[in-house]
Chains A and B, each alone.
Chain A
């Protein structure tokens, strides 16, 4: 308890934060493809396209780029810099986990810039799932995911962790299984219904319908949802994100420099990554988080820090771009980010609150991972920036503040508030 109290004290009274110190000034992307169909492009060629596109959008060039704030092993900065001709790398770092770091990578870029370590950072994802797939599915054998070592890194990883024998034989083989467990508990505790998950899927599909670049644009009905096959009950096929190829990059510079560039800046009001320690890699391995956290998105502490740093609350957020690898995680994030009370996310979405044009908090106006493309959260960042510029295809009128998140996942998960 002492430690927690002192940490909060520091956050509350800290005079120096990254608030408003940096801005996203450039966005770039390749087309999106269904998984494995981007050949003969490569992850490198797509990364280069997206980065150059984003620099050009900002009115900057490779000569200006000196930082890589990435996540989920998006690229090897050393190779990209050599290929692109980046004169000098001054910063190259990432939040330590997977897709949960997407929004947090912007905060890391802002911290690097505010701290004088770099002046111009790229955050990107380049993804080609030709020979590999995310989530340890059948391609690499059923063993690969189940026996995935816990902890450690590339150096000195001493073989299989002793804890792996406690989980390898239990039939949990993919992220979908883990998120299904969380979902089942939420349904049990709060009476959340599959109709709520259907509404997430349908509203986001409607948002993608008029977007030429989106991969899933066919209308989706409640019957379609309930006719879809169950994959890991209570999740059906449509609750799972699609798998996609493509690259997306964004450029972050200091707030001062942002004013002189080509595009209206999207200022980073606040950013946080992390989560409560006992969540850990929990959803995939231990499931030993306390009851009040188990049936959550794991974002609650991140949300608290985010709003504290920004000095605003959920009522000031105009559009929410919530990481949606599995549709129920949108519902749980709506609770954790305070758009509705804990446990009431289901009825909240079923009442139409996340709909574009009519809802109280439009969510994933670009279609999200579920219907636009799954570039591990980067499309959410691009949509947030376009909403703030006023150039989104499904523009929320008068958007001043956008929330973008990464995860739920193994920690760190992350959130960032952007403003005009």
Chain B
């Protein structure tokens, strides 16, 4: 048990504060994949543009049809911040934590970046350009939350 209103928190790991996916037909396949530790992303069948978060319309060609592609789940840190000030008292044991934008391998950049908590790292050393891989936190039957962690360089 814990007195922390945000639950059992760990250093560097931003706690799951939204435990429902609020999914619609555009986003459900992503969450279905997440439950199986697979990173699924929709690609426009007309022009090949990925879009994450999944939205109803392609921002390049305005078509709706997509095919769902399994991505390798690896990527590169595009930008990152180290959050040091806890904006909620319950976050005091969590800071410092790293949140960053990851460009996903297997896509073409800006269409499929993810804005995620980067864990299992020394917050001081995570740098733009670092290689990272996805890890899913299985919160409940419905939702597995994606985070990223550094890919070990020498192992």
> A residues bordering B, Cβ < 8 Å?
137-138, 141-143, 146-147, 159-174, 177, 180-182, 184-185, 188, 229-235, 278, 285-291, 294
Q: 8 interchain pairs (CB within 8 A)?
A: A143-B18, A163-B53, A169-B145, A180-B81, A181-B81, A181-B100, A188-B79, A288-B111
Instruction: Assess the A138–B89 pair: CB atoms within 8 A.
Output: yes
B22 touching A159, Cβ below 8 Å: yes
Question: Which of B17, B27, B97, B111 gathers most chain A CB within 10 Å?
Answer: B17
Are A184 and B79 in contact, with the CB atoms below 8 A? Answer: yes
Shortest Cβ distance from B24 into A: residue: A162
- A172 touching B79, Cβ below 8 Å: no
> Hey, which chain B residues are within 8 Å of A180, CB to CB?
81
Q: Tell me the minimal C-beta distance from A193 to chain B in angstroms.
A: 15
**In the complex, what's the smallest C-beta–C-beta distance from B103 to chain A, in angstroms?**
9
Given the complex, which residues of A lie within 8 Å of B26, measured CB to CB? 162
Please tell me if the beta carbons of B80 and A142 are within 8 angstroms of each other in the complex: no
Q: Is the CB of B82 within 8 A of A230?
A: yes
Point out the residue from A171, A234, A288 that lies within 8 Å of B14, measured CB to CB.
A171
Query: Is there an interface contact between A168 and B83, defined as CB atoms closer than 8 Å?
Result: no
Taken together as a complex, chains A and B put the C-alpha atoms of A188 and B76 apart, in Å, by 14
A173, A177, A287: the one within 8 Å of B113 (CB): A287
- Indicate if B99 sits at the interface (CB-CB under 8 A): yes
Q: Please, which residue of chain B has its CB at the minimum distance from the CB of A178?
A: B81
Among B117-143, those with CB < 8 Å from A are 117, 128-129, 143
- In the complex, whether B61 has a CB less than 8 A from a CB of chain A is no
Nearest CB of chain B from residue A275's CB, rounded to whole Å: 15
Q: What separation, in Å, do the CA atoms of A172 and B99 have in the docked complex?
A: 7
Within the assembled complex, what's the spacing in Å between the Cα atoms of A174 and B85?
Answer: 11
Chain A residues positioned under 8 Å from B58 (CB to CB):
none
In the complex, chain A residues whose CB is within 8 Å of the CB of B153: none
Of A137, A142, A159, A188, which is within 8 A of B17 by CB?
A: A142
B100 — which chain A residues lie within 8 A by C-beta?
181
B59 / chain A contacts, CB cutoff of 8 Å: 278
Give the complex CA separation of A147 and B17 in angstroms: 9
In the complex, residue of chain A having the shortest beta-carbon distance to the beta carbon of B129: A188
Q: How far is A408 from B12 in the complex, measured between Cα atoms in Å?
A: 29
Taken together as a complex, chains A and B put the C-alpha atoms of A173 and B27 apart, in Å, by: 23
Smallest distance from the beta carbon of B70 to chain A beta carbons, Å? Answer: 17
In the complex, the answer to whether B6 meets A142 with C-beta atoms within 8 Å is yes
- A168 and B99 contact, Cβ closer than 8 Å, known pairs A137-B87, A182-B79, A287-B113: no
Q: Which chain B residues lie closer than 8 Å to A137 at the CB level? A: 87
Cβ-defined contact, B110 with A291, below 8 A: yes
Whether B18 and A294, one on each chain, are in contact in the complex, defined by CB atoms closer than 8 angstroms, is no
Write the chain B residue with the least CB distance to A150.
B53
Please measure, in the bound complex, the distance between the C-alpha atom of A243 and the C-alpha atom of B100, giving whole angstroms: 26
* A170-B117 in contact given A142-B6, A163-B53, A164-B18 (Cβ < 8 Å): yes
* Interchain CB contact under 8 A, A169 and B14: yes
A290 to B78, CA, bound (A): 12
| B residues in contact with A143, CB < 8 Å | 17-18
Query: A232 and B115: CB pair below 8 A?
Result: no
**Does the CB pair B117–A169 fall under 8 Å?**
yes
Q: Which residues of the other chain, A, contact B110 by a CB distance below 8 angstroms?
A: 278, 288-291, 294
B81 interface neighbour in A142, A146, A234, Cβ under 8 Å: A234
| Contact across chains for B79 and A287 when beta carbons are under 8 A apart | yes
Question: Is there contact, CB below 8 Å, between A233 and B27?
Answer: no
Task: Name the CB-closest residue of B to A182.
Answer: B79
CB distance from B24 to the nearest CB of A (A): 5
In the complex, the answer to whether B23 meets A165 with C-beta atoms within 8 Å is: yes
> Is A142 touching B22 in the complex (CB atoms < 8 A)?
no
List the B side residues contacting A159 at CB < 8 Å: 22
Residues A171 and B79 in contact, CB atoms below 8 Å apart? no
> What's the Cα separation between A286 and B112 when bound, in Å?
9
